[in-house]
């Protein structure tokens, strides 16, 4: 007769045994015990059936579930990313255009140009600070979304 706590021990190893994660010695012990002990064998068969079922579900479901997840993340993230892309591209284009114009027609800058540059530089600084803040808040965003 096996001691009761041995059943407990075997049961705790069943999941790992099913996944083939046990050492050869432990797996051997589980196998021998399952041959002797109907109760544990039933528990094992139950577990194996459950795992089979979850495996089937995992295979059957992902395409649809993943598509929905993808749709969701796209509908939320794509416009936002696109927005940032446009802003970034716009700022970059502005800079390139400004630099080329400046090089082509070099002359001492007028007061209007100096004021214009100050405004542009101010906007860029604001933009950078907002971007940095947004990047820092990203984990928060995820957390908030999960909480809802």
Minimum CB–partner distance for residue 51 and Zn ion (Å)? 19
Pattern 3-42, Zn ion, x by CB under 5 A? ----x-----------------------------x--x--
Q: Return the number of the residue (7 or 29) whose C-beta is nearest Zn ion.
A: 7
| Cβ-contact 91, 55 below 8 angstroms | no
What residue has token string 């940032």?
84
DSSP string, 95-145: HHHHHHHHHHT--PPPHHHHHHHHHHHHHHHHHHHHHHHHHHHHHHHHHHH
Least Cβ distance, residue 73 to Zn ion (angstroms): 46
On whether the CB atoms of residues 2 and 36 are closer than 8 A, the answer is yes
We find the least distance from the C-beta atom of residue 54 to Zn ion, in angstroms, to be 24
- Helix-then-strand count for the chain, H and E: 5, 0
Residue with tokens 């395409």: 63
Q: Could you say which residues in the range 36-95 bind Zn ion, by CB under 5 A?
A: 37, 40
Nearer to Zn ion, 32 or 126 (CB): 32
Of 5 and 75, nearer to Zn ion (C-beta) is 5
9 or 91: CB nearest Zn ion:
9
Binding site for Zn ion (CB under 5 A): 7, 37, 40
């Amino acid at each position: 007769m096996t001691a009761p706590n041995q059943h407990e021990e075997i049961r705790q190893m069943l999941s790992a045994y099913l996944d083939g994660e046990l050492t050869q010695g432990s797996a051997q012990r589980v196998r021998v015990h399952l041959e002797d002990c109907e109760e544990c064998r039933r528990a094992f068969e139950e577990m194996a059936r459950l795992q089979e079922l979850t495996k089937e579900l995992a295979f059957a479901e992902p395409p649809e579930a993943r598509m929905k997840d993808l749709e969701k993340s796209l509908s939320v993230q794509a416009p936002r990313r696109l927005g940032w892309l446009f802003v970034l591209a716009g700022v970059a284009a502005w800079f390139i255009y400004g630099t080329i114009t400046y090089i082509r027609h070099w002359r001492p800058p007028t007061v209007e140009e100096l004021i214009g540059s100050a405004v542009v530089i101010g906007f860029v600084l604001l933009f950078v600070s907002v971007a940095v803040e947004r990047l820092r808040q990203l984990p928060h965003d995820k957390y908030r979304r999960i909480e809802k």
